A = this chain, B = another copy of it.
Amino acid sequence: MNQLSPFFLAALLLLVCACSPKAVKMPADSLALRSPDTRLELKFAVVNGVPTYTLDRDGKAILLPSRLGFELIDRENLTEGFSLVGSAFDSFDETWEPVWGEEAQIRNHYNELLVNLKKESGEAMDIRFRLYDDGLGFRYEFPMENKLTYFKIREELTEFAMAGDHTAWWISGDYDTQEYSYTKSRLSEIRGLNTDTRPYNASQHYISPGAVQTALQLKTADGLYLNLHEAAVLDYPATHLELQEGTLTFRTSLTPDAQGVKGRLQAPCKTPWRTVMVCESATDVLASRLILNLNDPCAIEDVSWIHPTKYMGVWWEMISGKSHWSYTSDFPSVQLGVTDYAHAKPHGHHGANNDNVRRYLDFAAANGFDALLIEGWNIGWEDWYGCQKDFVFDFLTPYPDFDLPGLNAYAHSKGMRLIMHHETSSSTVNYERWMEQAYSLMNQYGYDAVKSGYVGDIIPYGEYHYSQPIINHYHYAVVEAARHHIMVNAHEAVRPTGLCRTWPNMIGNESAMGNEFRANVPPGHTATLPFTRLQGGPMDFTPGIFEQDMAITAPGQTGKMRHTICNQLGLYVTFYSPLQMAADLPENYARFMDAFQFIKDVAVDWDKSLYLAAEPGEYIVTARHPKYATLNSGRLSGHSSVYDFVYKDGRPHDVWYVGGVTGEEAREFDVKLDFLQPGVQYEAMIYADAPDADYETNPQAYTITKRTVDSSTVLNLRMARSGGFAISLRSL
């Protein structure tokens, strides 16, 4: 974390305070909308032709008067000259059931205000506000009857005028990646700290000192937790938040396409939702379903083929330097269709070879996993990186030592499936050309999930990972996959914005620094992500790394992992994902089978989640109750280890899991088990950092304690620095 001198800080604050008070006041005849619990109030007015809104909570400003509008290319801007020509209030209350999730039922309860705006020149623009108890969502809508039909956005000018110099957990704006570690600072400090001297990434594009990414977690001096994000980003670029110089006002800053256009729209159409979450506690942020609720209901009729999955992978051994994705050292460069792999000399370190894959399958099957991911199975890995090479992979042709039909048959014979890997090297052009054949190959051999990757700069040339055409590509890949009954886990794609409600075959995303960066991010990283990246949907964080050595060749990723084993166990509960990996190598787990037991026992899909304690970047403690219907759904045949844990002795037990993680500081925490069924006794297996555990000096020290507990029990647990704990609870 950067240090600023008190003098500099004071100067900054003075500057901010001098500029902050807005000249705009909301007029008395503003339209006002209250949340169902009446505590949040949105006001909207057209002030001198400018659409403007505010947000209060209990009469106290959350957002000061903030402008709404757009600058357009080659036509009149949508910034001023508007009249309010209509408005409508509505309210909505519905409980829906996600295909998978943190809880079995989600309440979607809001009051709505739709305003119809028109310019004298004929442009029509509506704004739809939805006010929930836990925050605001609003979007622009462009009706069919409009002077606007096709139009191009120069910039969206939506403002969020913050009412104070809040604390923020932020990463720098970037058109291509969210793979950065978080900085905690005051808003007024952001512009000074946010320089273009960031760690290397295979594709990155710095924006400006003011630009930070969403979801942006904030905390006010009063202890309110605010969170700015967006929901349902489709056919529109992802936005950043640009802190305007000398103010505390954020403005949207969209990702341009190859021609610098920040969105090409055709009426009738709508933008993504802009969201402002307002919570009294950090745990309420984790419990919020605002982003999911603002997305459309499920678009897939038959969802029977979508299932939560716990998996292992031939992956970490390449990340940690033990083996390679590639097969040979014969070729200075590869031209698919020309390069002769059949006669190439293997370099002997190819991870995805038949024997090794069978070894993983034997271990994973014996321990009740659902699936195995294998990276480096297909030709091209000798030469895939950093050259913006178009025809980089064909997604069809295995290396000579990877028997695709045979290995699938072997996996299926053990009740497991293989997970396909499609690294696109960010050539969406090439991937789309092969997609139909690649998905069909998966169907042919019984793969039902794919991990896709978007490492490196995008082709089509000049596009960014977050620009509209590429966002459309990610969506296209998910929709096409759904047609093939394939689940998608996209890495390096745009951060999700709740689209998994509509397309629940989007079972995972990366879009942040995952576990493989743990050697180089501050310990608080895993206590930050659930407030930021995970707000939009689950992350394939790949927890479960017990060994500490990292030797990946990518810059900035060598060194020792900085977490304890119990931190890794805690993540299986604190990070929600329907796709959860046990990322370490079989031989490493074999040395810690007692701790590995928790990874075997923990479920991945839930009917209830309780957020017991949390503070961004500091700690998170979560308790979850599994969804029984999906305990075994990832298996082709036989029992999953979770099923066996829950159905011990052949009968269902009531089961809970509790996990905790902490950041830079060691802490103690009292876990009250009052969520257990009263009067029922449970066997608790408690996985805790040993008293002398420490992420730097003693990361592999843990204790495992078996206790009988009930709903009156309070467990006092100590977490080491960058440590954690995990508890499985099963009724006796």
Contact = CB atoms under 8 A, between A and B. Distances in A.
A476 B472 CA distance: 22
Contacts of A460: 258, 429, 460-463, 469
Interface in A251-282: 257-259, 261, 264, 266-268
B461 A266 contact: no
Contacts of A432: 429, 432-433
A390 interface: yes
A103 B109 CA distance: 76
Nearest to A267: B333
Given A258-B462, A461-B462, A389 B266 contact: yes
Contacts of A713: none
A436 B433 CA distance: 9
A7 interface: no
Interface in A424-477: 429, 432-433, 436, 459-463, 469, 472, 476
A433 B480 CA distance: 10
Contact of A461 (B150, B259, B436, B476): B259
Interface in A599-643: none
B258 A149 contact: no
Q: What are the 4 tightest A-B residue pairs by CB atom distance, in nearest-first order?
A: A460-B460, A258-B462, A150-B387, A258-B258
Interface residues of A, number: 30
A144 interface: yes
Nearest to A476: B433
A429 B469 contact: yes
Contact of A389 (B150, B387, B429, B462): B150
A388 interface: yes
18 contacts: A150-B389, A257-B461, A257-B462, A258-B259, A258-B460, A259-B462, A266-B335, A266-B387, A266-B389, A267-B333, A429-B432, A429-B469, A432-B432, A459-B469, A460-B460, A460-B463, A460-B469, A461-B462
Contacts of A459: 469
A555 interface: no
Q: Which of A259, A268, A432 has the most C-beta atoms of chain B within 10 angstroms of its own C-beta? A: A259
Q: Which of A259, A429, A460 has the most C-beta atoms of chain B within 10 angstroms of its own C-beta? A: A460
A86 interface: no
A461 B261 contact: yes
A332 interface: yes
A390 B472 contact: yes
A333 to B, nearest CB: 5
A389 B612 CA distance: 50
Contact of A149 (B267, B333, B476): B333
Interface string A147-174: 0011000000000000000000000000
B388 A264 contact: yes
A332 B387 contact: no
Interface in A383-407: 387-390
A49 B461 CA distance: 34
Interface in A369-427: 387-390
A259 B459 CA distance: 11
What is the copy number of this chain in the assembly? 2
Nearest to A261: B461
A469 B476 contact: no
Contacts of A264: 388, 390
A321 to B, nearest CB: 24
A461 B388 contact: no
A630 to B, nearest CB: 32
Nearest to A386: B150
Contacts of A332: 144, 149
A33 B476 CA distance: 55
Given A150-B389, A460-B462, 7 more contacts: A258-B258, A261-B461, A264-B388, A266-B333, A429-B432, A432-B432, A436-B436
A390 B267 CA distance: 14
Interface in A223-246: none
Q: Which of A150, A332, A461, A463 has the most C-beta atoms of chain B within 10 angstroms of its own C-beta? A: A461
A339 to B, nearest CB: 10
A429 B390 CA distance: 14
A710 to B, nearest CB: 56
A136 to B, nearest CB: 28
Contacts of A389: 150, 266
B258 A461 contact: yes
Nearest to A257: B461
A642 to B, nearest CB: 39
A332 B149 CA distance: 8
Interface string A702-719: 000000000000000000
A327 B268 CA distance: 21
Contacts of A150: 333, 387, 389
A212 to B, nearest CB: 26
Nearest to A333: B149
Contacts of A144: 332-333
A367 B432 CA distance: 44
A705 to B, nearest CB: 56
A389 B235 CA distance: 12
Contacts of A259: 258, 461-462
A99 B614 CA distance: 74
Contacts of A433: 432, 476
Contacts of A258: 258-259, 460-463
Contacts of A257: 461-462
Interface in A659-690: none
Nearest to A463: B460
A457 to B, nearest CB: 9
A436 B439 CA distance: 14
Interface in A465-521: 469, 472, 476
Contacts of A335: 266, 268
Nearest to A388: B264
A389 B459 CA distance: 19
Contacts of A261: 461
Nearest to A387: B150
A221 B460 CA distance: 47
Nearest to A459: B469
Nearest to A436: B436
